Structure 1
Amino acid sequence: MTDVTRPQALRYGRAALAVSFFAQGVLFALLVTRIPAIQDRYGISDGLLPVFLAAVPILAGVGSVLTEQLVKRVRPSVVLRWVQPVVGLVLVGLGAGDRMWVAAVTLALFGVCVGGLDASMNMLGVSLQRAWGQSIMLGFHAAYSLGGIVGASLAWSGAHWHFALFSLYGPAVLVLIPLTLTASRWYRDQEPDDGAGGGPVVPYGPEPAGAADRGPGRPSTARPGASSGPQQVVMRMLLPLCLVMAFAYIGDSTVSNWSAKYLQDTLHSSDQLSTVPYAVYMVTTLIGRAVGDQGVRRFGAVTVVRLGTVVAMAGFAVVAVAPGAWVGMLGFTLLGLGLCVIVPQTFAAAGRMFPDASDSAIARLNIFNYVGFLVGSPLVGALGDAWSYRGAMLVPMVLVGATLLYARSFAAGPAGYGVGHERPRTADVG
């Protein structure tokens, strides 16, 4: 079945969710790329700044836990529909304030809401992929990467032209909130027969006001098994994917936090050239995710994850031994192409592993996104100071390489998928 012949509800749901991923990429980039300006505006000391930055992923983990409980009562699309505008408004509030307590409150709210946003987006992505019958998860994360590039470009423009934070954040949010609220009319949640059988699907698109907000008494639209299975068994089965998620984000945070410093201090590049590796990393991440779904469909998730892991390890190795800046940038290019496939496929694998409880599995898995982000940067910094930054680059290489030990966790399970991530060609999806 081609994309054109799939039900309109699925195609609209896919496009709408891609808009949400794109918007989240923009919003997150607008925050992280303007951390120095936020620090200056609020007078946050260098000693206190790490506390503020660490609080964001910690509270995002809390938000993911809360979302797991919330989606037992309302659909993930409801959470996503309303939490994404809140993230935008919180960002505007951060740009408008000038007192320390405002920074503390807005960054705390941003963390909690981002946790709910990431969890609900990936819940919808996994259930939509199941109904689609082919790998499309990497495409959603490609939209996120594109949003990150747009957000970083806007932030660069704001810094170049000396825009105040409110002048930067306000117009961006003024565009993104109506865009995501409009797209949310076509979000599509999981249906009881979204599994292997390829039964009919019912969109959670435009519907009567208040219908999407029904609580525990709503009819058969509730997703089955949202809390099924002993908690210990679920976590034990999910643990390999949790470790893969954490290791992937340790690798990602190493690039985002240390690439510029590494190029300038260790490889002796110019100040301008040191800003290039992360931009190259983001572009190659976008490219890898844009074509990655085709690779999964053709060769299967296990092969793609293994290849991505090997490429990422090669990237860290090249960075560690690079004699100069240009070879170092080659290493960061390889890192973008390798790491980009791991996180989306980890979410997809959790959905296959727990087809009747994917929302809970994804919410728990999403916590390890923030664990990796929280651990990665301090780990590399401490090793770099105590040992050497070249040697420090080998540690995330080894951790990411552990994904090879767990690659079989990405295999297609009994959920009805055929070769790779596709259902058999004879199945009529939708």
Structure 2
Amino acid sequence: MLHPDSATGGDIMRDRFQIPPDIRRARIATTAVFFVNGMALALFFSNIALLKELIALSDARLGTALGLQGLGTVIFVVIGSLVATRFGTRATMLFGAVMLALALQMVGFATQYTGFLLAILALGASNSFIDVSMNAHASLVERQWRAEIMPSFHAAYNFGGFAGASLAAQLIRASGGAYSSLTVGGIAMVAVLMLGWVMLGNLKPAAETSQGGNRAITRHILRSPAIVILGVFVALALFVENAMNGWSGVYLCDVVKADPAAAANAFAAFQLALAIGRLLGSAAIRRFGAECVVVSGGLLAGAGVLLAVTVASHWAALIGFAAIGFGLANCTPMFFTRAAAAIPPAPALGIALVNTIGYIGYICGPLALGLVSEYQGLKTAFLLILGAMLIIALGCRLVTALKSSAQIAVP
């Protein structure tokens, strides 16, 4: 039985066989970009524990550096969106890929804390160009597809993260350093854009302000608290996600005493759980409803944190990290579809405004865990993740009461 707040199965299958071949090819190529971007970043995140050891970073300094990566993303995401509007999403993705490859090389060569900070800032800035342009390109494919397929792109990103973390473990064992992983990540990111250039297509957005113009958009922003509510919940979700990206491997090394190669498995477990959760998410929402999915996900993630901090073993930590990923998986996509619906004349603006607030959590996640870990230990710091997921679970009615894009879609 379908839940009343969900889209029908017929909506998802609508016009499936009338989709032009070039849009089908664009979906395949865009999925590949998401996959390789997830893989490239995973090759970086999986080496954080090793980089921390090589550069002799304290927990507080590492947290500051990872927070700077988020700051670089926030600063340059607006610039990236302007570049994508002016030169197109496909060209912006390629530019970002080249810059990301160079930034990863900077990280690999860094031997001092100052150089590492600059490299991390460059990494966040360059990836912001890829992030904003590939999501915009995916939304253009989604418009032509006339169905909500964005979760499939994000699942590809997480599967790429799992593949990258698995590859990083092998490369660390083979080379004993981080440079080989970072080089592979940069080369792969540039290669997928060059090889997929034609398939991606030069897609252009239609004007989003036709239904009422700028005044209508301003009225939506001023009259509705939805943007602020969703921004807070996205901030909590990104807090958890980036904290796990930056600190799960360090947790295995410092608390569980795993070697750096085994620590890469932490990121892999988290990313694989995110990917599987997002693949199953649409069906779960149709069957049980959005509120049930968010509440159960928050409680599952909380249980995962408790397992990881109370049972100090390799497998308990991996199972706990996977539970956090599975519980978090469908929160962010559900928040973003409601952000798009919050400003119907300009859905992209709704996402951008919510994301701007949300990146506060993205920046603060690694930084907060680093500071708490410095004075209270990493186990205590991980309880911040528990708190964020419980807030999402207990307050989710504020979000699920808002309409999603599927619920305001034109039949």
**TM-score of the two chains, using structure 2 as the length reference:** 0.77
Distance 1:274 1:53, change over 3 A: closer
The answer for the alignment partner of 1:312 in structure 2 is 301
Is residue 62 from structure 1 mapped to residue 51 from structure 2 by the alignment? Answer: no
The structure 2 residue matched to 1:115, chosen from 128, 136, 142, is 128
Instruction: Select 2:218's aligned residue among 227, 230, 233.
Output: 230
Relative to 1, partners in 2 of residues 1:68 and 1:368: Cα closer, same or farther, differing over 3 Å?
same
Is 1:353–2:366 an aligned residue pair? Answer: no
Structure 1 residues 120 and 355 mapped into 2: Cα distance closer, same or farther (>3 Å)?
farther
SS in 2 for 1:134: coil
Cα distance in 2, alignment partners of residues 138 and 398 from structure 1: 26
Tell me which moved more, 127-136 or 141-150: 127-136
Change (3 A) 1:262 1:98: closer
Give deviations 1:266-302, integer Å, cap 9, x for gaps.
Answer: 6x67658766444322222222122223334555544
User: Are the equivalent residues in 2 in contact too, given 1:315–1:335 (CA < 8 A)?
Assistant: yes
| Cα distance, 1:361–1:79 mapped onto 2, change above 3 Å | farther
Q: 1:168 to 1:256 in 2, by over 3 A?
A: closer
| Distance across 2 between alignment mates of 1:131 and 1:140 | 15
SS in structure 2 of the partner of residue 375 of structure 1: helix
Query: How far did 1:142 drift?
Result: 1.4
Whether 2:11 is the aligned partner of 1:12: answer no
C-alpha distance 346-10 of structure 1, shift in aligned 2 (>3 A): farther
Does 256-265 or 119-128 show the bigger shift? 256-265
Indicate the residue corresponding to 1:161 in structure 2: 174
Match 1:178 to one of 170, 184, 191: 191
Matched, 1:285 2:274: yes
Give me the whole-angstrom Cα distance separating, in 1, the residues matched to 2:297 and 2:376: 28
CA contact under 8 A between 2:63 and 2:367: conserved in structure 1?
Answer: no
Contact 2:162 2:267 in 1 (8 A): no
Give distance in 1, aligned partners of 2:314 and 2:39: 28
1:156-200: CA deviations, max 9, x gaps? 23221227655544455334323223434344xxxxxxxxxxxxx
When structure 1 is superposed on structure 2, of 90-99 and 327-336 the one drifting more is: 90-99
**Closer, same or farther: CA 34–347 of 1 in aligned 2, 3 Å:** same
Structure 2 Cα separation of the partners of residues 264 and 109 of structure 1: 26
Structure 1: where are the runs of 5+ without partners? 188-204, 213-219
Query: Which segment drifts farther, 270-279 or 156-165?
Result: 270-279
Q: What letter matches 2:403 in structure 1?
A: G
User: In structure 2, how many angstroms separate the alpha carbons of the residues matched to 1:378 and 1:317?
Assistant: 21
Letter in 1 for 2:335: T
**1:363 corresponds to 2:348:** no
Specify the code of the residue in structure 1 equivalent to 2:339. A
Cα distance, 1:181–1:240 mapped onto 2, change above 3 Å: farther
Deviation at 1:93, TM superposition (A): 5.0
Contiguous gaps of at least 5 residues in structure 2: 1-12
1:30 to 34, 43, 54: 43
Residue aligned with 2:148, SS? coil
1:81–1:324 Cα change, 3 Å: closer
Deviation at 1:90, TM superposition (A): 3.2
Higher helix share: 2
Distance of 1:262 and 1:95 partners within structure 2 = 22
Q: What is the CA–CA distance in structure 2 between the aligned matches of 1:392 and 1:40, rounded to whole Å? A: 20
Counterpart contact for 1:71–1:359, Cα < 8 Å? no
Distance 1:36 1:327, change over 3 A: closer
Q: Distance in 1 between matches of 2:257 and 2:105?
A: 35
Structure 1 28/370 Cα, relative in aligned 2: closer, same or farther at 3 Å?
Answer: farther
TM alignment of 1:251-266, pairs within 5 A: 251-260=240-249, 262=251
* Contact 2:63 2:366 survives alignment (8 Å): no
- Return the TM-score normalized by structure 1: 0.74
In terms of mean alpha carbon deviation, does 277-286 or 123-132 score higher?
123-132
Q: Secondary structure at the residue paired with 2:237?
A: helix
- Asked if the contact 2:67–2:364 (Cα under 8 Å) also holds between the matched residues in 1, the reply is no
- 1:326 deviates by 4.7
SS at match of 1:230: helix
Deviation at 1:71, TM superposition (A): 4.9
State the 1:24 CA deviation: 1.0
Q: Which residue does the alignment assign to 2:365?
A: 376
- Superimposed CA distance per residue, residues 101-121 of structure 1 (whole angstroms, 9 cap, x where no aligned partner): 765554333221212322232
CA displacement, residues 229-271 of structure 1 (integer Å, 9 cap, x when unaligned): 33962894311221112111222244344445556766x6765
Q: Secondary structure at the match of 1:155?
A: helix
Map residues 13-162 of structure 1 onto 2, 5 A cutoff.
Answer: 13-35=26-48, 46=58, 49-71=62-84, 73-95=86-108, 103=116, 105-162=118-175
Asked whether the 8 Å contact 2:236–2:388 carries over to 1, the reply is yes
Quote how far apart the aligned CAs of 1:82 are.
3.0
Measure how far apart 1:37 and its partner are. 5.5
SS at match of 2:124: helix
- Alpha carbons 1:284, 1:333 under 8 Å: kept: yes
- Report the counterpart of residue 391 of structure 2 in structure 1: 402
> 1:60, 1:375 → 2: CA distance?
13
Structure 2 partner of 1:413 = 403
